[in-house]
Structure formats: C-alpha cells, structure tokens
C-alpha cells in the first residue's frame, strides 16, 4: 500500500457498517497523507441505520474524509460511489486520465463483491470465508476510474481488546481461529443491553435472560441444542446465535457506536 500510494488520487476503504471502527485500518490516515478518503459503510442491509448515520457524521469530521453507505441488494447505489470519486479528483476526470483509486478492506468485508458490482462483471473472487483476495491487481473501469485492489488484511488494535471480538462476531475472523462459545458470550452480553426486543422476537423468549450465559442456554433449548439428560450443547447454541447475527436473522444490528468508542478511548487515555 505504501509503495503504490504516491500514484493514487483517492483512497477507498470498505468498512463493515455494523462495526465501522473495528473494521477500519488505523494506518490509513498516515498512509494517505493529503489524499481524499472515502469510507464505504458496506453491508448496510445488516446494520442499524440510525447508528450508521451517526457514524457517517462522525467520520466526516475528519479532514478529507467522505462517508457513504452501500449494500449489495441496492446495486443502483454504486453510481453514488463513482460520482464521489470523480468529484474528489476533478483534475483526473477524463477518459485518457482516469481517477486512480486504491480500494482496501479487512477480510470478508464484501470488498470483492463491491468490485464486481463496480466493474459490472466478475473480476474479483468472492467467498464466504475471509482472505479470498490474495494478490494486488489493477482494474480499469469503463467510466474513467482505475482501481488498485489490495488483499484483505487484519491489523491488531492492541489498545482495544473488544475489537477482536467484534471482528469475530461479524465473520472477519475464520471460524477455525475462534472459540465459538467465547465469541457468542460476548455477542449475547452486548445484545441483551442493546437489542433486547430483537432477541425476544427471534427466539420467542417468555422472559429476557439476565446474563449472557442464560441467553445462550435458552437459545440452545429452542434451536436444537438440547441433549440427553437435559444437557445444553453450548457449542451448538453459540453457532446458532453467531449465524443468526451474520445472516441478519436478528434484524439490522450494529455492534459499536461512536459514543461507545469515544468512551473506550477516553477510559484508556
């Protein structure tokens, strides 16, 4: 990224709209220097629209940053991205002088799907597992935009331990690298406080559990996790919860807000 950056006009960063902070690259501000930076809040069909609107306002307080939302079930929105790219590099908006963009994003954030929609054909390999794109490639679009695609990589945010949990909950970390029960407990605790009504609706709970452990047990009882002797298969119950979150079965949910992140950063000093 650092080597290619001098030849780039506009930086495009694809974020998971459910976790815009945790899915962001903390090094972009330094890498891009003065270059315009577009933050695309992808997977908006899964994210809480009210929270996403607050994130867009939060991001655009930074100099040179523009935020825009997108979801693959609203392909027409791609025109807004093209228009924004061209407006941020007006001196390059010509057929023989394309707007040179670099597109980046963490694994499984939907970057390859977005590229294919932008190109109008299958160029980037798409998969449900993280780390599908493995090499850098340049893609010339028909509308005067040149894309430099980069492999999806994760970077450690050592100052915020919960970032790793949020990334795992939303599927940015391979399932083989996580403990389902641990990640599900984190998600359950957050959902109990932030989205209790969605939990009641999805799992038809007579009474909202008080703790994450109790919630996962209830999910196990109702979703095929009950074993002989009344034992609850916590792994099975955890899988059900995480798949429901990732598939949008709980509704449109966000796992972090600007206010939450500000509070965490203030606490850490």
- Please give the tally of structural domains in the chain: 2
Same domain, 126 and 197: no
Same domain, 129 and 192: no
Same domain, 144 and 183: no
* pLDDT score recorded for residue 189: 97
Q: Residue 170: inside a domain, yes or no?
A: no
Q: Residue 206: inside a domain, yes or no?
A: yes
Same domain, 108 and 224: no
pLDDT digits (tens, 9 = 90+) for 164-189: 899 999 998 888 788 999 999 999 99
pLDDT digits (tens, 9 = 90+) for 224-260: 888 888 899 999 999 999 999 999 999 999 999 999 9
Q: Are strands 65-69 and 137-140 parallel, antiparallel or unpaired?
A: unpaired
* pLDDT score recorded for residue 185: 97
Same domain, 76 and 129: yes
Q: What does the alpha-carbon distance between residue 24 and residue 163 come to, in Å, rounded to a whole number?
A: 10
- Whether 182 and 160 have beta carbons less than 8 Å apart is answered as no
* pLDDT score recorded for residue 264: 82
Q: Residue 155: inside a domain, yes or no?
A: no
Same domain, 32 and 144: yes
CATH of the domain at 29: 3.40.50.300
Same domain, 191 and 239: yes
Same domain, 67 and 191: no
* pLDDT score recorded for residue 133: 47
CATH of the domain at 198: 1.10.1580.10
- Nearest of 110, 135, 104, 115 to residue 35 by alpha carbon: 104
DSSP label of 140: E
HSE (CB half, 13 Å, CA atoms) of 208?
Answer: 14
pLDDT digits (tens, 9 = 90+) for 76-120: 888 999 999 999 999 886 667 899 999 999 888 999 889 989 888
Q: Residue 20: inside a domain, yes or no?
A: yes
- Domain span including residue 241: 179-268
Q: What is the pTM of this model?
A: 0.89
Q: Residue 65: inside a domain, yes or no?
A: yes
Same domain, 62 and 116: yes
The token duo for 181 is 């029960």
Same domain, 130 and 187: no
Same domain, 55 and 111: yes
Q: How many other CB atoms are found less than 10 A from the CB of residue 204?
A: 9
């Amino acid at each position: 990224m650092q080597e290619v950056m001098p030849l780039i006009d506009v930086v495009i960063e694809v974020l998971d709209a459910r976790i815009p902070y945790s899915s962001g690259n903390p090094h972009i501000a330094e890498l891009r220097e003065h270059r315009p930076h577009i933050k695309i809040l992808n997977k908006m069909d899964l994210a809480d629209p009210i929270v996403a609107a607050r994130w867009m306002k939060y991001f655009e307080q930074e100099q040179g940053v523009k935020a825009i939302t997108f979801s693959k079930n609203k392909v027409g929105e791609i025109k807004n991205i093209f228009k924004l790219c061209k407006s941020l590099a007006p001196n390059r908006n010509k057929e023989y002088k394309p707007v040179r963009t670099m597109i980046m994003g963490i694994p499984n954030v939907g970057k390859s799907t977005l590229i294919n929609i932008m190109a109008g054909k299958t160029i980037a390999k798409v998969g449900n597992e993280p780390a599908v794109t493995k090499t850098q490639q340049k893609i010339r679009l028909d509308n005067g935009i040149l894309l430099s695609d980069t492999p999806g990589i994760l970077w450690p945010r050592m100052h915020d331990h919960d970032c790793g949990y949020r990334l795992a909950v939303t599927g940015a970390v391979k399932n083989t690298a996580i403990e389902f029960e641990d990640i599900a407990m984190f998600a359950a605790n957050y959902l109990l406080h932030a989205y209790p009504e969605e939990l009641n609706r999805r799992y038809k709970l007579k009474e909202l559990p008080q703790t994450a452990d109790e919630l996962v047990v209830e999910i196990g009882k109702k979703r095929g996790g009950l074993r002989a002797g009344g034992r609850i298969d916590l792994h099975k119950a955890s899988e059900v919860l995480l798949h429901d979150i990732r598939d949008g079965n709980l509704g449109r949910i966000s796992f972090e807000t600007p206010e939450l992140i500000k509070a965490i950063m203030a606490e850490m000093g």
